[in-house]
Amino acid sequence: MTITETAYAKINLALHVRARRADGYHELETLFAFVDDGDRLTAAPAEGFSLTIIGPFAAGLSAGEDNLVLRAARLLAARNGVTAGAAFTLDKRLPVASGIGGGSADAAAALRLAARLWGQHVPYASIALELGADVPACWASITARGEGVGEALTALGDGLAGTPVLLVNPGVAVSTGAIFKAWKGTDLGPLGCGDDLLTLAQSARNDLTKPAIALAPVITDVLAALGGQSGVTLARMSGSGATCFALFECAAARDAAAAAIAAAHPEWWQMAGALR
């Protein structure tokens, strides 16, 4: 029996950094949303644990014990007294270190897969956060407001479900730690509230955009390319970058934008989809 999960790409519709904490983390207010595509993770029963990585972004990724997929599965097994193993195959389709939660999404998919494989309940609140601040959000993979370090989640419904989205990465990997370190430490104010999620996101910001641009100036070009397309309702950098995204009024506008950007910048990675 082989089963599969999609590790859905995460985007931050908004990301307000409020303060540095004494433990080195940052207090955040964010709007998580997820695209209907991402990495693919499969699992089959096995005596031990193994991981094979394939796909366009497999190069440079370690399949060793420190990989989040294996760490997630081993942690779930240990917490639930599971003695079985799992053989994983990760089809790595999302760029690495790109602000769209690739590693966290893979870990979350591993938790979901292993739970299905072994018939276990996933106490994600305790397990997921041990694997990373974004893993709880990626485990749920629904539109949600995140606070704390991003782990305190409030579901926001499916008001944006089906919204056409285009993700673009200029082929530059950036360090999340370096971006947060470069944040100036100025609290620019809270994330607002409201039932209209698009309006709320449009009125918000990503506080990591400026420090990310300082380290990877090409992000400015990506934002300009996306923001200049017809039918765009929101264009913003996701997470700590360098991936940026745009939401569109309709799929035709998204597809036209994808074609135009691909023609102008064939070296840039992109993924067209819709919000879950």
Residue 156 and residue 256: Cα distance in Å, rounded? 29
- Are the beta carbons of 120 and 78 closer than 8 angstroms? no
The answer to whether 207 is a known catalytic residue is no
Instruction: Tell me the three state secondary structure of residue 274.
Output: strand
Nearest Cα to Cα of residue 63 among 95, 88, 44, 93: 88
Burial (CB count <10 Å: 0-12, 13-18, 19+), residue 270 = middle
Residue 25 and residue 170: Cα distance in Å, rounded? 27
CB contact set of 66 (below 8 Å; sequence gap of 6+) = none
Query: What region does 121 belong to: left with phi over 0, alpha with psi -120 to 50, or beta?
Result: beta
The answer to whether 184 is a known catalytic residue is no
Q: Are strands 85-91 and 49-54 parallel, antiparallel or unpaired?
A: parallel
Burial (CB count <10 Å: 0-12, 13-18, 19+), residue 237 = buried
From 91, 106, 134, 207, the catalytic residue = 134
From 10, 91, 106, 207, the catalytic residue = 10
- Are the beta carbons of 85 and 46 closer than 8 angstroms? yes
Residues assigned a catalytic role:
10, 134
